[in-house]
């Protein structure tokens, strides 16, 4: 598959990879990733120091506030729904602001995040994939692999980001300097509240965000409620209801596998989705448009309702840009559930 063969407008596609028939999601080896390993190790050490040597309730408040803001605006809305899936459009200045806040979460730069996400997404759509991609290893091995190592596939797909990503100089700047972006925040926090604010507002925040991202992702690919199965995918997604608010709606992961191009992830009654609420706020202010939801996405024939239920997103999912409700998913052969 070449870039010309890839349909960048398909809301259900993996947009930033070129994967020909020779690509293999299963064969590969785990190698140590010194950059991310040393970063995550140093951040963990700082988080331990915050708990043992610099505890303060003000520091905890700073941690909670900054974690909520960066996960909502940066990771959920910026990196995941805007950067990776392109589920809405925004002015360039706002787009860059979202990417900067996403970088502050502390996982890595925007290009690394796209590549890591899309390799996992592509692998899980295959009949079989490496346990690194499916989170099927034991818990401590899975932790070590995901926070301190990387997977080198024997025959990987080619990482070929869309031009809107590859040609953006600010994205490339963030990619080169993603660790340094913590410095202005760290200096400001130290000036305002000393070592306690710095350690809780940077080290504890980044440690909890990175570790929590891995842990919720692991749960979402192993067990939990399901509404949909994606026919042909070797790894099916699950919801993690208790994590809906901490993840700002990302924990409705079964919906995300079913409708990856949707800006709304919490589709059904009672599914809190603060990320989509923020996007709706931007839309009402004229700062977001072409907001995609299952109401205005084309039908996805690969979807099969679990237990044979016929489900469609509720009318509340509609936005000003919605035009129609997709038909119920057609019957399909049962997909394997893992």
Answer yes or no: do 86 and 193 share one domain: yes
CA–CA separation, 28 vs 154, rounded Å? 5
pLDDT of residue 264: 97
pLDDT of residue 160: 94
Answer yes or no: do 231 and 214 share one domain: no
User: How many structural domains are present in the chain?
Assistant: 2
Helix segments in the chain, DSSP class H: 34-53, 57-69, 92-104, 110-124, 131-134, 139-148, 163-166, 169-177, 182-198, 205-220, 253-258, 274-284
Degrees (nearest 5) of the Cα angle 53, 57, 58? 100
pLDDT of residue 277: 98
pLDDT of residue 7: 61
CA–CA separation, 83 vs 1, rounded Å? 22
Under the banding of pLDDT at 50, 70 and 90, the label for residue 3 is very low
Residue 184's CB is within 10 A of a number of other CB atoms, namely: 10
**Token pair for residue 63?**
């941690």
11 in Cβ contact with 109 (< 8 Å): no
Question: 83 in a domain, yes or no?
Answer: yes
Answer yes or no: do 240 and 182 share one domain: no
Identify the domain containing residue 208 by its residue range: 20-222
User: Stretch 134-141: mean pLDDT, rounded?
Assistant: 97
**40-85 residue pLDDT tens:** 999 999 999 999 999 999 999 999 999 999 999 999 999 999 999 9
End-to-end CA distance of the chain: 28
Answer yes or no: do 192 and 263 share one domain: no
Answer yes or no: do 233 and 200 share one domain: no
- Residue partners of 217: CB distance under 8 A and separation at least 6: 135, 253
Answer yes or no: do 217 and 94 share one domain: yes
Answer yes or no: do 164 and 296 share one domain: no
Half-sphere exposure of 327 (CA within 13 A, CB side): 5
Answer yes or no: do 292 and 308 share one domain: yes
**190-203 residue pLDDT tens:** 999 999 999 999 99
User: Stretch 123-152: mean pLDDT, rounded?
Assistant: 97
User: Stretch 98-122: mean pLDDT, rounded?
Assistant: 97
Answer yes or no: do 131 and 262 share one domain: no
User: Stretch 91-115: mean pLDDT, rounded?
Assistant: 98
């Amino acid at each position: 598959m070449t870039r010309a063969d890839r349909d960048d407008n398909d809301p259900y596609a993996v947009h930033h990879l070129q994967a020909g028939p020779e690509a293999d999601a299963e064969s590969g080896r785990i190698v140590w990733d010194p950059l991310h390993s040393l970063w995550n190790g140093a951040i963990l050490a700082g988080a331990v120091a915050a708990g043992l040597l610099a505890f303060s309730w003000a520091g905890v408040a700073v941690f909670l506030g900054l974690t909520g803001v960066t996960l909502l605006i940066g990771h959920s809305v910026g990196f995941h729904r805007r950067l990776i899936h392109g589920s809405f459009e925004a002015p360039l200045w706002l787009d860059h602001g979202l990417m900067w806040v996403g970088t502050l979460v502390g996982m890595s730069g925007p290009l690394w995040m796209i590549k890591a996400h899309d390799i996992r997404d592509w692998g899980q759509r295959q009949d079989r994939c490496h346990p690194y991609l499916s989170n099927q290893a034991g818990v401590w091995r899975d932790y070590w692999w995901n926070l301190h190592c990387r997977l080198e596939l024997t025959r990987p797909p080619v990482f070929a980001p869309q031009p809107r990503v590859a040609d953006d100089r600010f994205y490339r700047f963030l990619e080169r300097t993603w660790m340094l972006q913590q410095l202005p925040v760290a200096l400001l926090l130290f000036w305002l509240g000393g070592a306690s604010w710095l350690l809780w507002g940077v080290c504890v925040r980044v440690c909890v965000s990175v570790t929590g991202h891995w842990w919720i992702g692991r749960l979402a690919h192993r067990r939990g409620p399901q509404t949909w199965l994606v026919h042909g995918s070797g790894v099916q997604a699950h919801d993690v209801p208790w994590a809906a608010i901490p993840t700002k709606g990302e924990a409705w992961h079964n919906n995300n596998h079913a409708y990856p191009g949707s800006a709304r992830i919490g589709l059904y009654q009672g599914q809190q989705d603060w990320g989509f609420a923020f996007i709706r706020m931007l839309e009402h202010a004229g700062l977001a448009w072409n907001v995609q939801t299952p109401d205005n996405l084309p039908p996805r024939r690969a979807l099969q309702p679990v237990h044979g239920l016929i489900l469609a997103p509720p009318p509340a999912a509609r936005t000003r840009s919605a035009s129609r409700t997709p038909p119920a998913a057609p019957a399909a052969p049962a997909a394997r559930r893992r």
